[in-house]
Amino acid sequence: MELAEQTQLTQQMISKLESGTSQSTSAIFAIAKSLDVSAHWLWLGKETSSSVPLFYDDKMVNEAWQSLSDQQRTHVCEYVIELSKVEATEED
């Protein structure tokens, strides 16, 4: 029950993840963050040698963001804003 409280997930959702009947990435992220492990590792049960992970956790995104110049950050933000406009239009 402690994990459910830490992650704000129901015990039922945690059970579904454990049994493989749910593949909720947001739940995987919540559990990984609570346990302080990689979401990628939690999902697959192992780290892979692939240079492109299947999941990007907060730490990875923060490290990548910190390595960018101000100009690169501006481009990323502009791109994300444009993507969100496209997504909003497609949902309407």
Domain boundaries, the chain: 1-49, 56-92
Q: How far apart are CA 92 and CA 64, in angstroms?
A: 33
**pLDDT higher at 15 or 86:** 15
Q: Record the pTM.
A: 0.50
Whether 34 contacts 12, CB under 8 Å:
no
Q: Could you read off the pLDDT of 55-76 as tens digits, one per residue?
A: 667 777 888 889 989 999 999 8
